[in-house]
Amino acid sequence: MPSPTRQRLTEAAVRRFYRDGFRNVGLDQVLADVGISKTAFYKHFECKEDLMLAALEMQNRWLQETFRELVRERGGETAVGQLRALLDVVDRIVSCDDYQGCIFVNVAMEFPLPHEPAHIAAARHKQSIEEFVEVLATQAGAAQTREMAKELCLVMEGAYVTRQVTGNRQSIDVARRVAELIIAAHLSEAALQQTVN
C-alpha cells in the first residue's frame, strides 16, 4: 500500500493532469493542491514523470475494475449480454459532466512517440481492455475472437474521441449500431438469442 502522502499526491495528479493536460501541469501546481513541499515530494517520487506514471497506473487500475464491473452489472450473466453492454458502459462514461476524453488517449496524444513511458502506459491500458473483450468473445463462442475484440474496441475508441471532439450526444447511438453489427457478424444465431439479464 502506498503511503497516505503518496496516495494524495497521485490522486491530485490524476485530477490535475486530466483537467489541464500532462505537459501543461507543473509540479508546483500538484504540490500546492496537496499542500506539501518539493522536499517532501522527493521522498515519494523521483520526478514529475514518475508521478505521471503513478497517476496513469492508478487510473488504469480504477478504470479496469470499474469498467469490468459495469459491464457485468449492465450485461448480466451471459457473455453475449456483456458484449452488448460494452457501449452502454462507454455511454455512461462519456455522459459524465466532467468527461474530457479518455485520459489514456489524451496522454498518448501529448506523448506521441511509442517509446515514451506515458505512451507505453496508455497502450498497455488499451491492450488490457482489448484482452477483456476478447475473453468475452471467447465465452460467447465467437470463431475469430481477436478480430471481434479489435473491431469492438475500435468502435469504443471512436465513441470516446468523437464525443470529446464534437460533443455530439447522438454519436453513441451510431457506435451502438456498429457494435451490434460486429456482434451479429461474429456470433451464431443461437448465441445471439442468449438472454440479456
Q: Find the CATH number of the domain harbouring 130.
A: 1.10.357.10
Q: What percent of the chain is modeled with pLDDT above 70? A: 96
In a domain, 9, yes or no: yes
The tens digit of pLDDT for each residue in 99-115 reads: 989 999 999 999 999 99
pLDDT score for 195: 45
The tens digit of pLDDT for each residue in 65-76 reads: 999 999 999 999
Burial (CB < 10 A; 0-12, 13-18, 19+), residue 55, is buried
Q: Coil, strand or helix: which one is 40? A: helix
Half-sphere exposure of 57 (CA within 13 A, CB side): 10
Range of the domain at 66: 4-192
In a domain, 120, yes or no: yes
In a domain, 197, yes or no: no
Tell me: pLDDT of 197 over 60: no
User: At 196, is the pLDDT very low, low, confident or very high (cuts 50, 70, 90)?
Assistant: very low
Q: What percent of the chain is modeled with pLDDT above 90? A: 88
Average pLDDT over residues 124-129: 96
Which pTM value belongs to this model? 0.89
Q: Following DSSP, what letter does each residue of 143-173 receive, concatenated?
A: SSHHHHHHHHHHHHHHHHHHHHHH--TTHHH
When divided into structural domains, the chain yields a total of 1
The tens digit of pLDDT for each residue in 5-59 reads: 999 999 999 999 999 999 999 999 999 999 999 999 999 999 999 999 999 999 9
